[in-house]
Chain A
Amino acid sequence: MSTVRILVGTRKGAFTLTSDGRRKRWDIAGPLFGGWEIYHLKGSPVDPNRIYASQSSGWFGQMIQRSNDGGKTWAAVGNKFAYDGIPGTHQWYDGTPHPWEFKRVWHLEPSLTDPDTVYAGVEDAALFRSADGGVTWGELPGLRGHGSGAHWAPGAGGMCLHTILLDPSQPGRIFIAISAAGAFRTDDGGKTWKPINRGLKSEHIPDPTAEVGHCVHRLAMHRSRPQVLFMQKHWDVMRSDDAGENWREVSGNLPSDFGFPIEVHAHEPETIYVVPIKSDAEHYPPDGKLRVYRSRTGGGEWEALTRGLPQRDCYVNVLREAMAVDSLDPCGVYFGTTGGQVYASADAGDNWVPIVHDLPAVVSVEVQTLP
């Protein structure tokens, strides 16, 4: 029977939650790296025992940890993230130029074909790659250097590159997203990039339809149909059917179209999930009800999924990295909250149970489905 392993990053360490394919009983292990912020952990799709973790601290900076045995043991690998050349400046919150400064790794994306190759999305926004299992890192400078980098500005959470999607059908194609610059695409493995934000409208920036400056919170794709992208923006849920060239809003009947994560069902490319949050000023669910919303039509029409989720007095948030799916049938859906709960649904969102109640605030959730 298959095994499901959930990799949970929190404000004070990492945890692994493991179950068999029934997904009824869970073994909880951790904390790993206790006391450190674990922004993200992710396993290689080629070798699931190879897992990378981003470990950081306001005191001690950034570490990258690597496991070769499915998380049983870990070793620190390379943590030198040096911007290529003279980093230059981006815009600060007040519009003045501010030097590019490395702060932390938000997202680690292992290659689809090589367990030693892994991408890192960092704050201040840039994309790095390692081809030696995380020992050494080099920037892909074409992203910051494509022309608009000097005009990027941080969102409230910092200027982070948080989403990295590798196109399984075109090896050179990568989609990334930055708060608050927008979405970008390369078709040549990271040498050259273009903004892909046409159709986005953000009322809180000087030019609501600007080429860059949008606070994209998360992108998602189904690997069988990589030209279709879904986006949770600061406000608005968006969809593109042409690899990001054009976007249209699919917020439909959501109670709020503000939120952070967005995820796609493992077997139904038109089934997507979001967690509406009341507003950018109130980072908790509308009406104190924690509801996942599912669309089976690729957006537009949404249904509330509430069974097993708190429907009163709930004021947690679900952060952008904190939702994932497994690849079993029926598809399992998982998310973590800033209140330290990790919820699981073994039936594509119809019913939910908390796997664990009282972890530190959950920053990221990734799922590995193991044979």
Chain B
Amino acid sequence: MIRVALPVHLRTLAGVGGELKLDAGDSPTQRALLDAIEAGYPMLRGTIRDQVTQRRRVLLRFFAGGRDLSNEPPDALLPPPVVAGTEIFFIVGAIAGG
């Protein structure tokens, strides 16, 4: 299972206290993972990526295993440690605003 850590506002919105555990299929990509998040937690649709353009919201970033995955192609495979569940896929709000 893939482990996902959400920012606090999205945890509140989704009604979850800790990390998500999701099955994103046999060859999980970033797109498949976001599809799985939105299927499991429909209230998060539009909060991580725009519903029309499907682009990541500009003030959110994706990290895992010490790497910034934010600008990886959406159909690239996720790193094996993320797929294996040994590394958490972090969705992080940018330090911005007031």
- Chain A residues packing against B (C-beta within 8 Å): 35-36, 57-63, 76, 79-80, 82, 102
* Complex CA–CA separation, A261 to B7 (angstroms): 36
Closest residue on chain B to residue A82 by CB atoms = B52
* Complex CA–CA separation, A57 to B60 (angstroms): 12
Question: Using Cβ atoms and an 8 Å threshold, which residues of chain B touch A82?
Answer: 51-52
Closest residue on chain A to residue B13 by CB atoms = A76
Given contacts A59-B60, A61-B50, A62-B46, 20 further A-B contacts (CB under 8 A): A36-B9, A58-B59, A58-B97, A59-B7, A59-B93, A59-B96, A60-B7, A60-B9, A60-B10, A60-B13, A60-B48, A61-B47, A63-B43, A63-B46, A63-B47, A79-B51, A80-B46, A80-B52, A82-B51, A82-B52
Question: Using Cβ atoms and an 8 Å threshold, which residues of chain B touch A79?
Answer: 45-46, 51
Interface contact A60-B52, CB-CB below 8 Å: no
Query: In whole Å, how far is B10's beta carbon from the nearest beta carbon of chain A?
Result: 7
7 tightest A-B contacts by CB? A76-B43, A60-B47, A59-B59, A80-B51, A59-B93, A79-B46, A82-B52
Interface contact A59-B9, CB-CB below 8 Å: yes
Q: Is B57 an interface residue (CB 8 A)?
A: yes
Query: In whole Å, how far is A10's beta carbon from the nearest beta carbon of chain B?
Result: 13
Tally chain B residues at the interface, Cβ within 8 Å: 19
Interface contact A59-B94, CB-CB below 8 Å: yes
Question: Using Cβ atoms and an 8 Å threshold, which residues of chain A touch B9?
Answer: 35-36, 57, 59-60
* Complex CA–CA separation, A102 to B46 (angstroms): 12
Question: Using Cβ atoms and an 8 Å threshold, which residues of chain A touch B43?
Answer: 63, 76
Query: In whole Å, how far is A133's beta carbon from the nearest beta carbon of chain B?
Result: 15
Instruction: Give residues of chain B (33-69) contacting chain A, Cβ–Cβ below 8 Å.
Output: 43, 45-48, 50-52, 57, 59-60
- Chain B residues packing against A (C-beta within 8 Å): 7, 9-10, 13, 43, 45-48, 50-52, 57, 59-60, 93-94, 96-97
Query: In whole Å, how far is B5's beta carbon from the nearest beta carbon of chain A?
Result: 15
* Complex CA–CA separation, A60 to B48 (angstroms): 6
29 A-B pairs, CB-CB below 8 angstroms? A57-B9, A58-B59, A58-B96, A58-B97, A59-B9, A59-B57, A59-B93, A59-B96, A60-B9, A60-B13, A60-B47, A60-B48, A60-B57, A60-B93, A61-B50, A61-B57, A62-B46, A63-B13, A63-B43, A63-B47, A76-B13, A76-B43, A79-B46, A79-B51, A80-B45, A80-B46, A80-B52, A82-B51, A102-B52
Closest residue on chain A to residue B14 by CB atoms = A76
Query: In whole Å, how far is B44's beta carbon from the nearest beta carbon of chain A?
Result: 9
* Complex CA–CA separation, A79 to B13 (angstroms): 13
* Complex CA–CA separation, A35 to B96 (angstroms): 13
Closest residue on chain B to residue A77 by CB atoms = B43
Query: In whole Å, how far is B38's beta carbon from the nearest beta carbon of chain A?
Result: 11
Closest residue on chain B to residue A55 by CB atoms = B13
Query: In whole Å, how far is A224's beta carbon from the nearest beta carbon of chain B?
Result: 40
Question: Using Cβ atoms and an 8 Å threshold, which residues of chain B touch A60?
Answer: 7, 9-10, 13, 47-48, 57, 60, 93
Closest residue on chain B to residue A12 by CB atoms = B98
Query: In whole Å, how far is B20's beta carbon from the nearest beta carbon of chain A?
Result: 16
Question: Using Cβ atoms and an 8 Å threshold, which residues of chain B touch A36?
Answer: 9
Q: Which of A36, A76, A79, A82 has the most CB of B within 10 A?
A: A76
Query: In whole Å, how far is B7's beta carbon from the nearest beta carbon of chain A?
Result: 7
Closest residue on chain B to residue A83 by CB atoms = B52
Question: Using Cβ atoms and an 8 Å threshold, which residues of chain B touch A58?
Answer: 59, 96-97
Q: Which of A35, A58, A79 has the most CB of B within 10 A?
A: A58
Query: In whole Å, how far is A124's beta carbon from the nearest beta carbon of chain B?
Result: 13
* Complex CA–CA separation, A57 to B12 (angstroms): 14
